[in-house]
Structure 1
């Protein structure tokens, strides 16, 4: 009998520890549609979960005092897991409600991230944290002559469960049943153990209806509107949504949103209509140098496939290679954003863009390499380093250009300064361009940084139709002075503090995050 109890205590600790880490991993995916996914998001999540577990362990230690009977300890486990189950089941609707409430404030994004993470995920972690010391007390009391081995076994099972939870959340559950489904599964696990520990050794029929109500409450939370997935598709990489922009544009059109950042817009009837100023600039500048020749281009990130789609329609004999790491993004672009993946000019590779570029045939060169990959508003660090820029430079055809889309502050774009400083090590000419409307508005803007072998002939590019846009090049002397004054680092594979350089976004209110 003692061996069975030891096995039961160990199994409970193993699986509840797994559940705690599942919640931590899923928390990142759940927050992404509201505040994006960055180093700061994960920092907040890990800190909140650890704070909850620590507080729970402290409370559990009080329940594991020597004078506490086994029956009382088991009831404490049941209550803690029942509450953990309820709060875990309520994460999705609570997050949605808090995001709406806090989104209407002028809170800086960094504060918003912390408040959302703490408000939603602290209590589930706290209540499941109560369980570990109480279970360990029960296991030791059941075998007092083997305190050391029992203590080591329980610690090991807790750690092993955490490993299992991390692996199954990231590799299995999110892509299998989604983040909301995963949270409900964890809640169900907690509630099942709560019922088992409450009823263990009890004959009273009074407690059964009470616990049944707790289970039903947890199931009922799963039916709340908040559990309607905010994603069209929840892939291994993104929460993917498609937003109908027909009312705004007056034409059948849509935008793809990955997590909470829109990745360009597509027009159904005219693929060459480029709503995004930065894509319009890149297309016009590249085409002006080709003299009608079909472009050879490599796209770092597919997103809505806006420019590849436009060029595939205009230049059937073009060579357009798109490295999009997420097959679900391509599938949604084809299903809902009118991308023809069978176009002869288009070649889609579902892999990391840097690794793909490195393994292309060595004689394959491009007129344009366009960097347009983002984790929320920041670019993945391995795509902005000097080592990567050398690879890009060596893949450009004579006269070719490397263009990278950068979201930054207009007033003090420290990341842009660091990127330019880094690119200047390997490109003879590096330019920063911005459309005039964005320059006048200020705030968050989208720069286009060009790496060239020959500087642009003009500092202004104008387009009369259909949007009457004007793009301006940052004056080289002023740019050089600003970079020198900013004292930013050269970005390398060893040191590329992208999130720190962009922390200005997270310390000031920004309408784009509301």
Structure 2
């Protein structure tokens, strides 16, 4: 492993490094990592256009399946910018709280789009025009998980107002599937605002491990193709408490 950048910010270490092995695959990879080995993004240096992780591949499929002609997307959480980079002909607006993350995405991961705004994603989204977006994508994490003000009923109401009539909110979360009370609560809260919701889980062997989960909310039924969901499986979630500000 070759460390290219490392900095401690507010008790969290941000690292960029090159490695010849990632999740058992041999190759040449560049990784953006936060505290406790929390990987935020990775690039295959031999094929920079490749989408490395399952969850952005699944989100991309959902976007293409739900609305192939979509034009406008609001993203909360920059990472290395995999999804906006995948759609260079679409209009993306990205909200990122940490300016260092944006600088790293440009310096080390070739992110060249001029569409990132520094600040809190909820505040920035609140100032957008009504019904301005086809998709809103939430992919924001701290070391404690997704910030609570981004999974509350009030936040979901903001997203509904900023989406057009056929728009969709898609969230990448970390949870324990059917055993995670917070995920149940997020899903139940989402159902308070959107007529149709779906939940997807990326299975792992250990049921106690945190796993990538995708939650989707919209006011129309959703079609997708299971074989293109990169291993994510649709799951049913139980009722949970409603999360409010």
TM-score normalised by the shorter chain: which range applies? 0.7 to 0.9
| Residues 110-149 of structure 1 aligned to structure 2 (within 5 Å) | none
Q: Is the 8 A contact 1:253 1:268 kept in 2?
A: yes
Cα RMSD for the two superposed structures = 2.5
> 1:402, 1:377 → 2: CA distance?
22
Residues 240-296 of structure 1, C-alpha deviations (whole Å, 9 max, x = no match): 1013244334443222112232112223454442221111110111012333x3542
TM-fit CA distance, 1:365: 1.5
**Structure with larger Rg:** 1
Q: Shift of the alpha carbon at 1:297? A: 1.1
TM-score of the superposed pair, with normalisation by structure 1: 0.43
Shift of 1:375: 1.2
Extract unaligned runs of 5+ from structure 1. Answer: 1-228, 494-514
Report the more deviating stretch, 281-290 or 231-240. 231-240
| Structure having the larger proportion of residues in helix | 1
Shift of 1:425: 0.6
Bigger strand fraction: 2
- 1:356 aligned partner: 124
Q: Deviations over 1:43-99 (max 9, x none)?
A: xxxxxxxxxxxxxxxxxxxxxxxxxxxxxxxxxxxxxxxxxxxxxxxxxxxxxxxxx
Counterpart for residue 145 of structure 2:
378
Equivalent residue, structure 2, for 1:232: 6
* CA distance 1:430–1:411, change in 2 (3 Å): closer
Residue 446 of structure 1: aligned partner:
212
SS in structure 2 opposite 1:469?
A: coil
**Map 1:169-248 → 2, pairs under 5 A:** 232-235=6-9, 238-248=12-22
CA contact (8 A) 2:198 2:215 kept: yes
Q: Residues 240 and 258 of structure 1 are in contact (CA less than 8 Å); yes or no, is this contact kept in structure 2? A: yes
Give the alignment's TM-score, normalised by structure 2.
0.87
- Structure 1 stretches (4+) deviating beyond 6 angstroms? none
For the pair 1:254 / 2:30, whether they are aligned, the reply is yes
Deviations 1:459-509 (A, max 9, x none): x5213xxxx93332114xxx3xx32xxxx321000xxxxxxxxxxxxxxxx
1:225-304 alignment runs, 5 A limit: 232-235=6-9, 238-248=12-22, 249-260=25-36, 261-268=38-45, 270-291=47-68, 293=69, 295-304=71-80
Change (3 A) 1:363 1:237: farther
Pick from 177, 197, 219 the counterpart of residue 410 of structure 1. Answer: 177
Indicate how the Cα distance of structure 1 residues 339 and 230 shifts in structure 2: closer, same or farther if over 3 A, else same: closer
Q: Distance in 1 between matches of 2:50 and 2:164?
A: 27
